[in-house]
Amino acid sequence: MFYLRLVLTAMRSLDSHFLRSLLATLGVLIGVGSVVACMSIIEGATGQILRNLKSLGSDMIFVQPATARVEGRRVGVAQTLLLEDVQALERELGEQVNGMAPVALDAGVPVKYFQKSDDFTIIATSDKYFELNDYKAAEGRVFSHGESQDELALVACLGSKVAEKLFGGMHPVGQTVRIRNAAYRVLGVMEARGNVGFIDADQTVYIPVRAGLRRFFNRRWLNYLTIQGAHRTEVEQLKQQVQKALRNVHNIRVGQPDDFEVSTLEEVVRDVNQATVIFKVVFYSIAGISLVVGGIGIMNIMLVSVTERTREIGVRMAVGARRSDILLQFLVEALIITLLGGAFGLLLGVLFADLLDKVLEGMFNTEINTSVVFTALLTTTVVGVISGIYPAFKASRLDPVEALRYE
């Protein structure tokens, strides 16, 4: 009963200065809304990336060129991973792998069908890419092993959104699209898949690797190589064999660093989690500034309230209120202000996250889970206590006699 009466008294006091109390909650409202929005974005994006990576299978190994450096500074990737390396690995590893898929890619490439044109990602790869990623054609077919090895095979498979944007309701199979200055015959349209790893498969055009390297990219090196092991329990052992084989192919002597990088799926997931931690720190720091400003605003309002109600505090003490009662009263008032701001901030953050879902058009979904709600409410409570504890302590330490004389 005592605590209920305390809350009702605090509510009446805040209601008597409604506009001031409302303005005090704005800082907390914006801060909590920012925290919720940031957390929903990070949780949604991280969850999407991790789900896409895990869908590749735990037996995947990724090989990419090492980072090129000049005087210690990163200047891009080394051009050291070639198709010849893929052939050497196939000979060396034999039945220890289910397959290998070389990949060369370029983003933002204009693809045109008559007057319709848009920018998409181009991936030059082999037929094994579709098999390893369990990625099938919804219409037509993917290119064959022979076409993958043919340097003159100007054929392509379109992601589902590519076909939709360029052809609308027409059937793309058998039609010709222009990629830069060359004409490619469409063999098939892929099923709607979303992301494969870090790549939006639906917004991608796939071409045979040899023809792609020669006719489109005009180079010999690959961006990365995907290897699927035949035995999931021996992924780490397979990784070591891949490193050993590539060092031999590249004639790397003992003590010299590798000019390539080999990673298992578990290591890639760990790197993503580490990168996520950095983004969380940055996002939360920015959102935390709003909460600090909001907390300072509440402390300022509470100090003004203590000054205005000095005579009231004296009367309460004179009729028997203890110092702890006065401290608790002002602390509850500060807490109510922040909890109201936190509740409306939580609602604002949820609405903003929902708006982002619509703006991003399915690139990834924001996630509002229990940890997001709990963190928002916990943060609000902490801000309320910290902001109100000094004004409450100041009110509780007033001299009753001097408080009664205050005008």
pLDDT in tens, 62-76: 888 877 555 445 545
Q: What is the mean pLDDT of the chain?
A: 80
pLDDT of residue 55: 62
Q: What percent of the chain has pLDDT over 90?
A: 16
* 229 token code pair: 């092991």
What mean pLDDT do residues 369-380 have? 74
Q: Where residue 82 falls among pLDDT bands split at 50, 70, 90?
A: confident
Per DSSP bridges, beta strands 182-190 and 195-196 are: unpaired
pLDDT of residue 158: 94
Residue 328 phi/psi, 5° resolution? -65, -35
Alpha carbon distance 125, 209 (integer Å):
4
At 91, the amino acid letter reads: R
Alpha carbon distance 387, 31 (integer Å):
14
Q: Is the pLDDT of residue 177 over 50?
A: yes
Q: Is the pLDDT of residue 208 over 90?
A: yes
Burial class of 134 by CB neighbour count within 10 A (0 to 12, 13 to 18, 19+): exposed
What mean pLDDT do residues 183-191 have? 93
Q: Under 8 Å CB-to-CB from 286, ≥6 apart: which residues?
A: 34, 38
pLDDT of residue 364: 63
* 234 token code pair: 């021996």
pLDDT of residue 361: 63
pLDDT of residue 3: 56
pLDDT of residue 73: 52
Q: Under 8 Å CB-to-CB from 237, ≥6 apart: which residues?
A: none
pLDDT of residue 213: 92
Q: Is the pLDDT of residue 5 over 70?
A: no
pLDDT of residue 286: 73
pLDDT of residue 258: 78
In angstroms, the Cα distances linking 312 to 107, 214, 319, 402, 406 are 69, 86, 11, 12, 10
What mean pLDDT do residues 78-105 have? 85
What's the pTM? 0.69
pLDDT of residue 108: 87
What mean pLDDT do residues 198-207 have? 88
pLDDT of residue 18: 65
Alpha carbon distance 228, 238 (integer Å):
10
What mean pLDDT do residues 91-102 have? 84
Decide which of 156 and 277 is more confident: 156
Least confident of 182-196, 205-219, 312-326: 312-326
In angstroms, the Cα distances linking 10 to 184, 295, 346 are 74, 18, 23
Q: Is the pLDDT of residue 384 over 80?
A: no
Q: What percent of the chain has pLDDT over 70?
A: 86
Long-range residue pairs from 76-82, CB within 8 A, at least 24 positions apart, any chain: 77/223, 78/259, 78/260, 79/219, 79/220, 79/221, 80/221, 80/250, 80/259, 80/260, 81/221, 81/222, 81/223, 81/224, 81/225, 81/260, 82/220, 82/221, 82/222
In angstroms, the Cα distances linking 284 to 32, 41, 278, 395 are 10, 12, 10, 33
Q: Where residue 1 falls among pLDDT bands split at 50, 70, 90?
A: very low
What mean pLDDT do residues 354-358 have? 75
